[in-house]
Every structure is written in C-alpha cells, then in structure tokens.
Amino acid sequence: MELMVSLTIGLIVLAGLVSVLMANRQAFTIQQGSSFNQENLRFASSRLAWSIRMADFWGGIKAEKITTTTKLTSITGSGNCTAAWIVSVGDTSKENGIRGYDGGAAFPITDCVNAANYVKGSDVIVLRYADTHGYDPTKASGPDFTSTTDGVVPNRTSIFLLSAVAQQGTIFRLDDAVPSNPLGSSSGRYVYPFQFEMYYLSPCSDPGADGLCGTADDGDAANRSPTLMRMRLSSSGALISEAVVDGVEQLQFEYASPAVGGNPAVPFQAASATNFATVTQVRVSLVMRSSARDTAVPHPVNYTVSGHCQYAIDGTGAVTYTGTAATNKCKGMDASAYGTNPQQFVRLLSSQVVLIRNRVRG
C-alpha cells in the first residue's frame, strides 16, 4: 500500500514537471519567434528607410538637370527593366528618384523578375539616387578610382553621376571619360556612384542552382521562407538580385504628397493612384514571420497591412481576405506564399512613414 501511494505521488509530481517543461518549451518557441521577427524587422525597416530617404539625391542639383551618355545602352537589363529605364532620370516624362508598383498576379514590370521568384500581391518599389560618397572629377579616371580591389568604389557600381552643384549633371559609365559639362565650371563638381535599387518579395530564400523558387533544387523547399530581395546594378553593369532578410511574408507601400503646412494633401494611397513627381512620404508596411514553427498552439492573425491589403489566418490555417480583388491587392496571393499550416508561425506587423528628405528640402 505504501509503495502504491509513493508511486502515485511520484507520478503526480512527474506529471507536474512535464507540464512545466512543456509550458517553458512553448514559451521559449514563442519568444524565439518574436525575437527573430523583431531583429529581422529592425534590419528590413532600416534598409528600406535608408534607400527611400536617399531617393532623388543628385549631389546638389535637380533631377531635370541630368542628362545621360550614349554608352549607357550597354547596361544589361531584363524584359522591361532596360538600360534606358534603369537610368531614367531627367525631365518630368521620366521616372526620377522613386516609383512604386502595386502587387498583382504577376510581377508588375514585365519580364523583369521570373514569376516563380515573386510573391503575388506584394508591392514593388524602385529607387534611384547618387551615393553620398563624392569624388574629385580630376581623380575619377585614375587607378585609385577604378580599382576593383582596394575598396574605393562603393557598392562596386559601374555607373556614375557627374554633378555640378546648382547647375547640371551627367550620368556616365566607368569606362567613359569624365564628362566636361557644364562647360566653364571648374568648382563644385563631384562624381558620385549612381544607385539603382528595386525591392520586392520572393517566396523562398534559397532558390538553388537554377535560381528559381519551387523547383527541384530549391534549397528551402521543405520550409519556404519568404524573403525581401533587392535588385541592383553589379560592377559590370548587370542587374543582380540579392536577399536582404528572410521571413518577410508581406510588403506594402503607400504614398502621400505635401500640402500647405507639410501635411499630406491626400491620404496615403496605392501606387496606381499616385503622382510620383510630387511624393514626399512613403508608408512602409511589413509582416514578419518566424523561421521556426510552433506546433503546440495556433497563432491566428487578422491584419490590415495597408489600405489595399487585408488578410486573416485562422486557427486551422485557412487564409481569408476582405473585399474584392480590385480593392484588396493581397487577394492575388497564392497559398504557397504562406506555406503549409501557416497558423504555426508567429507573426509581427509593422508600419512606418519615411520622409524623402531630398524632396522635402527642395
């Protein structure tokens, strides 16, 4: 009898310890997912904010004062991401420093990114600006400037901008002679690396040898991780895409223009309703998703990511949307964007407003 009582008490104590350990493990999983989301969100927000703030910085001149050299046609583009479009800076008919694109069933710029590498329904933003590191034009054709090993040329770009403060500028390739315009100007002239950046979402972080998500050699096919990507110019003038941070499930941009007093003249709106020549504020909204699953309890969410993107995930993993495809751009997302059992991931929604400081300052 005493032995049976002892065993019973021991089993009760053991059950209590197991319960505590399971609760601690669950709390650790949730905390780990939250920490992952916060760290990646901080990095993604910082990278996007920096690029957006830099839009339309041209070394002290207006975008409409910029011309290009004919050699720029040798830039390697893809589809509608042509050489002329990449350096499309100048008069009001061109793209200038910032251009947004609403998400949809296909990548919004034709044949620029393979359909397998795009998260349907997520927005895209393109930014153009001059890097902050200016060079003396008299040294711009010397070995220190053109070296590809000594770290002098930032971001290894092959495209540069000659800027004459408060006058005009010219975009040229590294293998061109530094332009002499504006004629008669001997001071206030600097050479800046030209930066082109396009941010978008890819459904995987490791597309494998063929570069396509969802194929046989997809490196993370077993547990797809949607990833924030940046397309930029390489040192040879080709467009390359690189992963910025993984775990970004949704990316949305909204835009506003100034009015008297500096407040938006209209509420933040989608790219399709925006005049980008007057935009000075961008609202960036991201949904971060943890890398590890929590199979113990579901994590349902109901997010209004932006004015044109709302979705919910219930405790069974079912994804639902409000409105129609015309009013809810996220409705175009396919199920693979969330992966199997999406309710098993911890998520975090964040939104920030970024000021395009070079436009605000005039």
How far is it, in rounded angstroms, from Cα 7 to Cα 233?
70
Say which amino acid occupies 220. Answer: D
Q: Which of 52-66, 131-145, 214-228, 325-339 has the highest mean predicted lDDT (pLDDT)?
A: 52-66
pLDDT at 261: 47
Least confident of 100-104, 131-135, 231-235, 268-272: 131-135
| pLDDT, the chain, mean | 80
Query: Which one is predicted more confidently, 227 or 24?
Result: 227
Between 5-14, 222-231, 272-281, the lowest mean confidence (pLDDT) is in 5-14
- Contacts of 42-45 with C-beta under 8 Å, sequence gap 24+, read 43/244, 43/245, 44/228, 44/244, 44/245, 44/248, 44/286, 44/288, 45/284, 45/286, 45/350, 45/352
Q: How far apart are CA 301 and CA 307, in angstroms?
A: 17
Judge whether 270 and 308 are in contact, CB under 8 Å. Answer: yes
> What is residue 335's predicted lDDT score, i.e. its pLDDT?
65
Give, in order, the Cα–Cα distances in Å from 361 to each of 37, 173, 280, 320, 355: 34, 29, 10, 43, 10
Residues 241-262 have pLDDT tens digits of: 999 998 899 999 999 886 544 5
Instruction: Identify the pLDDT of residue 149.
Output: 47
Categorize the per-residue pLDDT at 55 as very low, low, confident or very high, splitting at 50, 70 and 90: very high
SS (H, E, C) the chain: CHHHHHHHHHHHHHHHHHHHHHHHHHHHHHHHHHHHHHHHHHHHHHHHHHHHHHCCCCCCCCHHHEEECHHHHHCECECCECHHHHCCCCCCCCCCCEEEECCCCCCCCCCCCCHHHCCCCCCEEEEEEECCCCECHHHCCCHHHHCCCCCCCHHHCCEEEEEECCCCEEEEECCCCCCCCCCCCCCCEEEEEEEEEEEEEECCCCCCCCCCCCCCCCCCHHHCCCEEEEEEECCCCEEEEEEEEECEEEEEEEEECECHHHCECCCCECHHHCCCCCCCEEEEEEEEECCCCCCCCCCCEEEEEECCEEEEECCCCCEEECCCCCCCHHHHCCHHHCCCCHHHCCEEEEEEEEECHHHHCC
- What's this model's pTM, rounded to 2 decimal places? 0.85
Q: How confident is the model at residue 29 (pLDDT cuts 50, 70, 90)?
A: low
Least confident among 48-52, 73-77, 272-276: 73-77
Mean pLDDT calculated for residue range 53-62: 90
Mean pLDDT of 36-50: 87
76 is written with which tokens? 């390697």
Q: Which of 68-82, 141-155, 176-190 has the lowest mean pLDDT?
A: 141-155
Q: Whole-angstrom Cα distance, residue 352 to residue 76?
A: 34
The structural domains of the chain, with segments of one domain joined by +, span: 32-360
Q: Average pLDDT for residues 170-178, to the nearest whole number?
A: 78
Is residue 122 pLDDT above 70, yes or no? yes
